[in-house]
Amino acid sequence: MGFFFTIVALIVLLGFTWRYLGSYMEAVFDGRVHWLGWLERPIYRALHTSPEQEQTWKRYAGAMIVFSAVSLVFTYVILRIQGSLPLNPQHMGGVGSALSFNTASSFVTNTNWQNYGGETTMSYFSQIGALTVQQFVTPAVGIAVAIVVVRGFSRRNSPTIGNFWVDITRCMLYVLLPIAFLFGIIFVAQGAVETLAGTVSIRDALNGVTQTIPRGPIGFMESIKQLGTNGGGFLDTNSATTFENPTGLTNFLSIYLLLSIPFALTYTFGKMVGSVRHGVALLSVMVLLFGVWVGFTSYAEHQNNPAVAAAGIHSTVGNTEGKEVRFGDTSTALFGVSSTMTSTGSADASYDSFTPMGGFGLLTGMMLGEVTPGGTGSGLYTLLIYAVIAVFIGGLMIGRTPEYLGKKIQAREVKLAGLGALVMPIAVLIFTGIAVSIAAGKAGPLNGGPHGFSEILYALTSQGNNNGSAFGGLTGNTPFYNIIGAIDMLIGRFGIMIPVLALGGALAEKNVVPESLGTFRTDNGMFVGLTIGVILIIGGLTFFPAISLGPIVEQLSHGRFF
Amino acid sequence: MTTVLNPSSPDAGAHGVAQSRGLFDREILGQALKDSLRKLDPRWQVRNPVMFVVLVGSIITLIESFAHPSTFTWSITVWLFLTVIFANFAEAMAEGRGKAQADTLRKMRSETEARRLRADGTEELVAAALLQKGDLVVCEANDLIPSDGEIIEGIASVDESAITGESAPVIRESGGDRSAVTGGTKVLSDRIVVRITAERGHTFIDRMISLVEGANRQKTPNEIALTILLAVLTVVFIPVVVTLEPFAGFSGATVSVVVLVALLVCLIPTTIGALLSAIGIAGMDRLVQRNVLAMSGRAVEAAGDVQTLLLDKTGTITLGNRMAANFFPVHGHSEQEVADVAQLASLADETPEGRSVVVLAKENFGIRERELDPSHVFVPFTASTRMSGLDMGNRSIRKGASESVKKWVTDQGGNVPTDLDEIVEKISRAGSTPLTVADGSTILGVIELKDVVKQGIKVKFDEMRKMGIRTVMITGDNPLTAAAIAQEAGVDDFLAEATPEAKMALIKKEQEGGKLVAMTGDGTNDAPALAQADVGVAMNTGTTAAKEAGNMVDLDSNPTKLIDIVEIGKQLLITRGSLTTFSIANDIAKYFAIIPALFAVSYPQLKALNIMHLHSPQSAVLSAVIFNALVIIALIPLALRGVRFRAANSAAILRRNVWIYGVGGVIIPFAFIKLIDLILVQLHAY
C-alpha cells in the first residue's frame, strides 16, 4: 500500500512540476526571466558575450567542446594535485592518472561513474570544486543542447540557434542553482551530513576497535546529484547510506528530483514549438516506457531471487538481499528504474543483488538510449533523434516527404539522427567485446559465466549511456577499465551531442511546411506508438543477443523464465 | 443548373510508348534473369550498402563451406547468394520494362534523311544525324520530321501517334503556341519549314529513351534519405553480430560463423534494400504508362508532396468550350421563338458554341436544322462587332454581346425590351455568358452559354481535399463568372482574370508559405510559371519553351492528369515506407528463430525462446534465411505495382499501412518461418 501512495504522490508532484517548471524553463531560455539579472549581466560581460550575439550550430558546438575540454582538464588537474590543495582534512594524496582521467571524463559527461570510493579518495576540495561544480554545469550543457534542437523546430529560416554561454548561464542561475539550494536545505534538515570538518573516530570499547566515520559537505551535493541526473554521491555507498539519504522523505524526494527536469523539458518543448500537445506526445512516450519498466522491475524484485529460492530459502517480502530495509523491495526497484532510466545512476541498494530479471530491467532501461525520460536535456534530445526516425518512416507511409513540426526530414536530418542513434550501441558493444576478449578485461568481474558477462556489459552500458550506475561486482579501478570506460563515456556524450547540434542547426535553417490534412500527425497516439516502436527496435534489436547471453540465460539457468 | 457531359477524351493510357506489358512479360523475365547474375559484380553491388553486406556475407559462408563442408553450410551459402540474386532480379525486372519501352522508341528514331535548306533557298539532302541547331529543313506530306524543331513557315497536319499513341493527326502551324514539332513524327499533308532546335542526342525522343531506360537515373531525395537510414540499420547490426563471438566466448560458449552471417543477413533490412531501386524505377514506369514523362525522379517525388494544385479552368475543370444551356425570351416572346431564331443565326456558325445552339434547339424544341440557301450570307464574329449572324435577303438576324446587339437594334429604330438587362444580368451572375438574339429590329431573348464542368471532377477535388491538397482554379474570366464555376466544380479557390504575372505571383506566394505547387501549362507565356512551380506539367501540344520549362510532359495533353501524377508520387513514397516498416518488423521473428539456435549447444536453456518450436537449430536458421530470401521474390509484384493507394487523410492512410505492414510484418514471418521449417522436416532435410 505504501508503494501505491508513493506512486500517486509522485505522479501528482511530477504533474505540477511538468506543467510549471516546464513553462518556467521556456521563459528562462526565451530570456524573459531576469530576477538574477544583477548576477547574469556581469557574467556575460566577463565572457565578452551577450544574448544578442547568436551562434551558428558550428560555433555553438565549438563553444560547447571548448567548455567541456577545459572542464575536463580542470577536473583532472584538481584531482591529481589535491594533496597540495586546501580543504583536505584527511590529507588525501593526489589521485592516480588513470583514475583521474576516468573520473574527470565521468563528471564532465554527466555520467558520474565512480571507480573510487569518495570517502577514501577525494578531498573536500575535489568533491566541491571539481566534482560538484561539474554536477552543476553538465546538466546545464545537456539542457542547452536539447534547447538547441527544440529551437531547430521552433525557428524558421534561421542561421543561428542561440548562444551557448548565455544558455548555460541562464540554466544554472535560474533553474539548477535555486532548486538545488532549496532541496539541499531540505536534505540537510532531514539529517544529511553537511560539514567541512574531517572524519570522526569512535572508540568501540566493547569490541576493542576504533571506527572512523567519514563526514563532509554531503547534503548540498545530494540535491544537485539527483536534480542534475548526475548520480555521483559523496560516499561510496551512495544513496543507500543514511548520511546521503537519511529518511524515507529524502528517498522519495530523490526519485522526484531526478525525474523532474527530464519530464518537464517535454512541456518546455511543447511550449517552444507552439503546441503543448506535441510535448504531451513525447511525455507519453517517456511515461509509457518508464511505467512498464517500473512495473516489470518492481514485480521482479518482489519475487524471490531464483538462486536463493533454489537453496530452499523463501522470502515473503521479495528479494531483500543488498537492499536497505528502510526502503523495501518495490520502492528500491522504483528508485533503481528512475535512476537508470534518467541516466542518473545513483543507487539506494546494491544493483548486483537484484534478481536477474530485476537487473534485466535496469540494464535494458539504459540500453533504450536513456530517453525514458533520460538525463537532463540528453533525454529530450536523444528522444527527438528517435522521433525524427519515427517521423521519417511513418511519414513515408503516408506518401509525403516526412515532416516533423513542419520541418522536412530529409537526407541530412536522417543522416544526423542515424548517427546519433548509432553511436551509443556501437560504442557499448565494441567496448564490451574488447573487455571480454582480453585478459585485463576478463580480470574485472567478480563472477564468471553469464553473471560475470552481465557485470561487464552493465559497466560499459552504464558508461556509454552516461548513466553511471554500477552493477557492482566489477573491479573497475584498473588502468584498463579506467581508460576504456573514459573513452566510452566521452563517445557516449559528445558522439551524440555533436550530431544533435548539427541536427538543430539543419532544422533551424529550414522553412516550415504548413500543416494540412495530408500531414503526418506528430501529436497523437499513432506517433507515440511509432516512436516507442523505433526506440524498442533500435534498443531491443541491437542488444537482444547480448542480453540473451547475460540476464536471460542467467534467469533461465536458475529456473523458469517468467 | 449546368449540364454535365462526359470528358471529351478518355484516358489514352494504353497506346504508343506506353504499350503496357504484363507484370511478368516473358521476354522481360528472361532478360531480367540474365541481368540478375550479371549484377553480382561487387562493383555494382557496392552501390547498395545493404545487399553488398549480404554479398560479402555469402562469400564468407562460401569459404566456410569449403573449409567445413556440410549440407547445412552449403544450404545457407546457396540461399544467401539467392538473396542477392533475388534483389538483382527485382531491379532487373523494373529496368527491363523500361528497356522494352526504349526499344520501341529506338525503332521509331530511324535514320532519316533531311531536306536542308541552303541560304540561297535551294535544298540539299543530308543525314538527319548531321543536322545542327538552327538548320532549316523542309518537310512535305509523308516525310518524317528529322529532329525537334519549330515551324517557321506553313501549316501541316502531323501524325504524332508514335509519341502520344493518339492516332488522330494534329495541326501544327508557324507562330503561336502550336508551332513545335517533334523528331520522328510524320507530316501527313502540306509543306512546312522547320528550324531545328535540338542537337542530335538531345532530342525529345533521345530524352525519352534515356528516361525510360533509367540510364542516368539519379537517386531522388527521399530515396537518398532512406538509403542512409538503411545503411544506419545495416551498420548497427554489424557490431551486434561481430561482438557475439567474444561475448559467447567469455562464458566458454561457441558460435558458428555461418550462423552469425545468417543472423546478420536476417537482421539487416534486406527486403527493402533489395526492392528500393525497383520501387523507384517502377514509379517512373507507372508515369510512362499514363503517357507522362518526368524529366527527373525528383519531380515525381515532389508530386507526392504537392499541397497546392493550380488548374487551368478550360480543359481541366470544364470542357474546352461553352455550351448553350437555355433560351430566355424577353417579355412578349416565347422560348420557341428564341430557339428558332437562335438556331437560324447559328446554322453557319462552325464554332463549338454555335454548334451547341443548333443542338440545343433541336433537342429541346425539335427544331430541325434547315438547309442554307446559297444566297444567305454568314456574318462572322469579329472583335469589333462582337456579333455574328445571317443575312437572308432583307432579313438580318444576329446573336452576340448584349450591348452590341442593343446598339444594332436601336440603330435600326427598334426598342430594347425593359426586361432584357435583368435577364442578361441574371445569367452573368450565375457565371454563364449571355448572347442576345435579335431578328431585325426586334430583340427576342437571350441564349445562356454555360461552362460545362467535367463529370467526376468534383469527386476528384474532394479526394484532393481529403489528402490535404488545395485546388486553385486559374481562369481569364471575370471574378463573378469564376466564382460560380469554382463553386460548382468544388475547387478551394480561384484566380480570376489571371495574367502570367498573376499566376507567377500566386506560385511564389504559396512557395514562400512553404507549400509545393503543381501546375499545367502549354503556352510560351506559361513557361516562367512552369519553371517556378515545383511540379510543372507541360502539355505535349504546347510550345518548346513550355516543354523545356516544365519538369514533366504529358503526351496526351490532358491537364486533368495532374491529379494522377500526384497520386503516383504519393504511392511511390508509400511503397517505400511500407516495405521499410515491413522489413524492420520482420526482424523480431527472425531473432526468435536464430538466437536460441545460435547457442543451442552452450545454453540449451535458451530453448525457451524457441517459441515457434522449430525442429532443430539448423532447420531454424535455414528457415529464417529462406524466408528472408523468398520474401523478396514475393514482394516484387508489390514493389513494381506500388501498394494500393486510396485517397484519404493522412491518419487513415497511416493506420492502414501500420496495420498491414507494421503489425503484419511482425506476425507474418512467424507463420512462414514455421511453415518453411515444417517443409524442411517433411523433406527430411533435417
Q: Which band of pLDDT confidence, cut at 50, 70 and 90, is reported for residue B9?
A: very low
Cis bond leading into A373, ω under 30°?
yes
Question: Sign of the CA dihedral B513, B516, B522, B525?
Answer: positive
Residue B373 dihedral angles phi and psi, to the nearest 5°: -80, 140
| Residue A452 touches partner B, C-beta closer than 8 Å | yes
Among B662, B628, B565, B631, smallest CA distance to B302 is for B565
Most A CBs within 10 Å, among B250, B263, B603, to test the A interface = B250
Most B CBs within 10 Å, among A396, A491, A524, to test the B interface = A396
Cell, residue A143: 539542457
Given a cut of 70, is residue B501 above it in pLDDT?
yes
| Residue A475 touches partner B, C-beta closer than 8 Å | no
Q: Give A424→chain B minimum CA distance, Å.
A: 10
Given a cut of 50, is residue B577 above it in pLDDT?
yes
Most B CBs within 10 Å, among A393, A398, A524, to test the B interface = A398
Please state, in angstroms and rounded to a whole number, the distance separating the CA atoms of residues A288 and A209.
Answer: 52
Please state, in angstroms and rounded to a whole number, the distance separating the CA atoms of residues B677 and A55.
Answer: 59
Which segment, B181-190, B564-573, B595-604, is predicted with the most confidence on average? Answer: B564-573
Find chain B residues with C-beta within 8 A of A426's C-beta. Answer: 235-236, 239
Lowest-pLDDT range of A77-91, A332-346, B159-173, B345-359? B159-173
Find chain A residues with C-beta within 8 A of B469's C-beta. Answer: 516, 518
Contact A556 B605 (CB under 8 A): yes
Find chain B residues with C-beta within 8 A of A450's C-beta. Answer: 251
Question: Sign of the CA dihedral B367, B372, B375, B376?
Answer: positive
Catalytic residues of B: 312
Q: B521 - beta bridge partners?
A: B538
Q: Would you say B473 and B464 are in contact if contact means Cβ atoms under 8 Å apart?
A: no
Give the mean model confidence (pLDDT) for residues B550-555. Answer: 86
Q: Would you say A388 and A500 are in contact if contact means Cβ atoms under 8 Å apart?
A: no
Please state, in angstroms and rounded to a whole number, the distance separating the CA atoms of residues B486 and B466.
Answer: 18
Q: Which band of pLDDT confidence, cut at 50, 70 and 90, is reported for residue B10?
A: very low
Query: Mind listing the pLDDT tens digit for each residue in A496-531?
Result: 999 999 999 999 999 998 888 888 899 999 999 999
Find chain A residues with C-beta within 8 A of B304's C-beta. Answer: 399-401
Give the mean model confidence (pLDDT) for residues B406-412. Answer: 90
Please state, in angstroms and rounded to a whole number, the distance separating the CA atoms of residues A557 and B26.
Answer: 57
Give the mean model confidence (pLDDT) for residues A266-292. Answer: 96
Question: H-helix or E-strand containing B519?
Answer: strand B517-521
Nearest residue in A to B646, CA atom? A398
The amino acid that residue B575 corresponds to is: T
CA A76 to chain centre: 21
* Packing angle, helices B297-305 and B561-598, rounded to 10: 100
Give the mean model confidence (pLDDT) for residues B336-349. Answer: 86
Contact B469 A537 (CB under 8 A): no
Q: Would you say A245 and A226 are in contact if contact means Cβ atoms under 8 Å apart?
A: no
Most B CBs within 10 Å, among A357, A363, A367, A400, to test the B interface = A400
Say what the pLDDT of residue A311 is.
78
Closest in A521, A549, A556 to B248, CB measured: A549
pTM of the model: 0.87
As a dihedral over the C-alpha atoms of residue B229, residue B231, residue B233, residue B237, rounded to 10 degrees, the angle is -170
Please state, in angstroms and rounded to a whole number, the distance separating the CA atoms of residues B576 and B570.
Answer: 10
Query: Mind listing the pLDDT tens digit for each residue in B310-334?
Result: 988 877 788 767 888 889 999 888 8
Say what the pLDDT of residue B5 is.
37
Q: Which residue has the cell 449546368?
A: B2
- Higher-pLDDT residue of A483 and A3 is A483
Q: Which residue has the cell 531522388?
A: B220
Say what the pLDDT of residue B6 is.
37
The amino acid that residue A536 corresponds to is: L
**CA distances to A298, A305, A390, B301, B312 from A340, in Å:** 14, 21, 24, 43, 61
Q: Would you say B84 and B33 are in contact if contact means Cβ atoms under 8 Å apart?
A: no
Q: Name B250's Cβ contacts closer than 8 Å, sequence gap at least 6.
A: A436, A437, A442, A452, A453, A456
Cell, residue B89: 532480379
Residue environment code for A179-213, b if the CB has 16+ CB neighbours within 10 A, otherwise e: bbeebbeebbebebbbeeeeeeeeeeeeeeeeeee
Q: A212 - beta bridge partners?
A: A201
Percent of chain B at pLDDT above 70? 94
Among B23, B548, B77, B642, smallest CA distance to B304 is for B642
| Residue A436 touches partner B, C-beta closer than 8 Å | yes
Contact B654 A398 (CB under 8 A): yes
C-beta neighbour count of A82 within 10 angstroms? 25
SS3 annotation, A528-560: HHHHHHHHHHHHHHHHHHHHHHHHHHHHHHHCC
| Residue A399 touches partner B, C-beta closer than 8 Å | yes
Contact A436 B249 (CB under 8 A): yes
Please state, in angstroms and rounded to a whole number, the distance separating the CA atoms of residues B603 and A554.
Answer: 10
Find chain B residues with C-beta within 8 A of A409's C-beta. Answer: 225
CA B145 to chain centre: 27
Tell how strand B149-159 and strand B191-196 pair up. antiparallel
Closest in A399, A426, A436 to B247, CB measured: A436
Question: Sign of the CA dihedral A525, A527, A529, A532?
Answer: negative
Q: Give A260→chain B minimum CA distance, Å.
A: 32
Q: Which band of pLDDT confidence, cut at 50, 70 and 90, is reported for residue B18?
A: very low
Nearest residue in B to A553, CA atom? B606
Among B270, B250, B617, B590, smallest CA distance to A546 is for B250
Given a cut of 80, is residue A534 above it in pLDDT?
yes
Query: What is the DSSP secondary structure assignment for residue A446, as one 8-state letter?
Result: S
- Higher-pLDDT residue of A559 and B348 is B348
Q: Could you state, in order of their start, the residue ranges of all structural domains in chain A?
A: 13-270, 277-556
Say what the pLDDT of residue B431 is.
75
Contact B581 A393 (CB under 8 A): yes
Q: Give B416→chain A minimum CA distance, Å.
A: 53
Say what the pLDDT of residue B23 is.
59
Find chain A residues with C-beta within 8 A of B655's C-beta. Answer: 526
Say what the pLDDT of residue A171 is.
97
Nearest residue in A to B465, CA atom? A517
Please state, in angstroms and rounded to a whole number, the distance separating the CA atoms of residues B511 and A511.
Answer: 10
Say what the pLDDT of residue B108 is.
65
Please state, in angstroms and rounded to a whole number, the distance separating the CA atoms of residues A248 and A229.
Answer: 20
Nearest residue in A to B566, CA atom? A399
Find chain B residues with C-beta within 8 A of A521's C-beta. Answer: 650-651, 654
Please state, in angstroms and rounded to a whole number, the distance separating the CA atoms of residues A374 and A339.
Answer: 9
Q: Would you say A33 and A174 are in contact if contact means Cβ atoms under 8 Å apart?
A: yes
- Higher-pLDDT residue of B9 and B395 is B395
Among A483, A423, A389, smallest CA distance to B230 is for A389
Give the mean model confidence (pLDDT) for residues A287-296. Answer: 95
Cell, residue B388: 455574328
Most distant CA atoms of chain B, gap in Å: 117
Contact A453 B598 (CB under 8 A): no
Tell how strand B149-159 and strand B170-173 pair up. antiparallel
Contact A397 B658 (CB under 8 A): yes
Nearest residue in A to B584, CA atom? A537
Find chain A residues with C-beta within 8 A of B249's C-beta. Answer: 436-437
A 531-560 residues with CB < 8 A to B: 533, 537-538, 541-546, 548-549, 552-553, 556-557
Question: Sign of the CA dihedral B549, B554, B558, B561?
Answer: negative
Say what the pLDDT of residue B24 is.
63
Q: Would you say A414 and A389 are in contact if contact means Cβ atoms under 8 Å apart?
A: yes
Q: Give A547→chain B minimum CA distance, Å.
A: 10
Given a cut of 60, is residue B417 above it in pLDDT?
yes
Q: Name B381's Cβ contacts closer than 8 Å, sequence gap at least 6.
A: B349, B351, B387, B388, B400
Please state, in angstroms and rounded to a whole number, the distance separating the CA atoms of residues B569 and B263.
Answer: 35
